[in-house]
Amino acid sequence: MMETRSISLGNLLFQMELPAFERLGAYLDALRRALRGSDGAEDIVKEVEYRMAELFQDALAGVSRALQLDDVERVCAQLGDPSDFRDEGDGDDPSQSRRRAGDEGQQRGRRRWYRDPDERVLAGVASGIAYRFGVDPIVIRALFIALVVFTGTGFLFYLILAAIMPVAKTASDRLAMKGDPVTLASIIDSMESQIRARGSGQADRPWAQRWRNFVSQTLPEALQALGKVVLWTLLSIAILSVLVLGAFILSTALGFNGFF
Amino acid sequence: MRKGVLELCILRILRKGEAYTSDIVDALKAVDLLVVEGTIYPLLTRMKNAGTLTYRWAESSSGPPRKYYDLTLEGEALLAELEAAWDQFVSSVNSLDSSSSTPRTS
């Protein structure tokens, strides 16, 4: 004799043996946890319940019996681990995916901070930042050189950024760096340009491509992006001057006058 | 990568007309493109949010309610775009094989 529970799943009535009932509950709980914060989580859970009801119906094949643990295990295996339900295109930050869902249509995704291993001069920091703000790397490199020449802190700043920013290793990292949504077409695009760059084996190829990018997409965005860069530079200059001022005050307070 | 291909496959399945989730799952499983069903649900949700798919709920006389998906105009445009990219991708990969004159990388 085995105690059973009766449940309603997808508007259908099922009798379940107790272990089966508990396993199903645990699976659905784990699924809710895995989906927490992602787009349409409620809808997905509902649809999974309906799918399970359908699969249980198939398993019973019209026979009137209680569902057993085996039946539930089989259905869970078919649906996959709750972690499989997480959409990798969603990224790891749920608030970000929600924000993106609020945008209309297929916009360019949010660009992330990555060092660019393909078009680097030193560690790829400038190229990575250039992608982040949608400007030509030349602009960022000029800013870094200006910082080095005029304030002397540019190199330290560069080193810190190089330490903080991860390298864009995989194709999807590169796409995140460039702000392209990770879709088939964009991955193929990036594969193609990599294949082409490798096949030609010439250094001028990426430059030509970069120039084309600059003319076709960067330029229209340039005004807005430049505004951001200026803001960003002013902010870093402000921070630096506060630091320098602080050091100055500290050194005078300590009576160390030889420096200035 | 695999998910990108799945996206193309879903659009292709729906080109023939609307289908409910289990139809899509069965079609993908029949050609070994789907191992666990779980991956399909967030993908469909994302495509719906992106405006390439629409859905409607329909009652079923024999089982639980069904969620029928269909292509939007935007979805059809994306399908054409992805198919062109796919063809190009396949021919790129194939061309690497046929051109045996390319220098060997050790």
Tell me the pLDDT tens digit for each residue of A171-199. 667 777 776 655 656 666 666 565 555 44
pTM over 0.80: no
* Interacting residues of A57 by C-beta distance below 8 A, sequence separation 6+: A12, B62, B63
- Alpha carbon distance B5, B31 (integer Å): 13
pLDDT at A251: 78
Q: Domain range holding B10?
A: 2-83
Joined together, the tokens standing for residue A170 give 């995989």
- State whether A85 and B92 contact (CB < 8 Å): no
Q: Does residue B103 belong to any structural domain of this protein?
A: no
In a domain, B90, yes or no: no
For residue B91, the model assigns a pLDDT of: 87
Helix (H) or strand (E) holding B67: strand B66-71
> What is the pLDDT at residue B38?
87
Q: How far apart are CA A11 and CA A4, in angstroms?
A: 19
Report if residue B92 sits inside a domain.
no
Place of tokens 């078009």: A119
Strand bridging mode B19-20 / B66-71: antiparallel
Angle between helix A184-200 and B73-98 (nearest 10): 30
Residue B75 within a domain: yes
Tokens of A115: 């060092």
Q: How many CB atoms lie within 10 A of CB A206?
A: 16
Contact A84 B39 (CB under 8 A): yes
Distance from CA of B81 to the nearest CA of A (A): 8
Total structural domains within chain B: 1
B41, A42 Cβ separation under 8 angstroms:
no
Cα angle A124, A236, A140; round to 5 = 35
Query: By the CB < 8 Å criterion, does A214 face chain B?
Result: no
What are the tens digits of pLDDT across the range A78-112?
888 888 887 665 443 333 333 333 333 334 456 77
Residue B51 lies in a domain: yes
Mean pLDDT check: name the lowest of A34-43, A47-56, A193-202.
A193-202
Query: What is the chain A residue with the closest CA to B50?
Result: A105
CA-based nearest residue in chain B for residue A191: B89
Is B93 part of any domain? no
Tokens 């379940």, located at residue:
A16
Locate tokens 């879903």: which residue?
B10
CATH number of the domain encompassing residue B12: 1.10.10.10
Mean pLDDT of chain A: 74
Q: What are the beta bridge partners of residue B69?
A: B19, B55
In a domain, B53, yes or no: yes
How many Cβ atoms are within 10 Å of B55's Cβ, its own excluded?
Answer: 18
Angle between helices A171-178 and A184-200 (to 10 degrees): 100
Least confident of A1-5, A98-102, B16-20: A98-102
Please report how the helices B2-15 and B40-49 are oriented relative to each other, as an axis angle in degrees rounded to 10: 70
Q: Is the pLDDT of residue B70 over 90?
A: yes
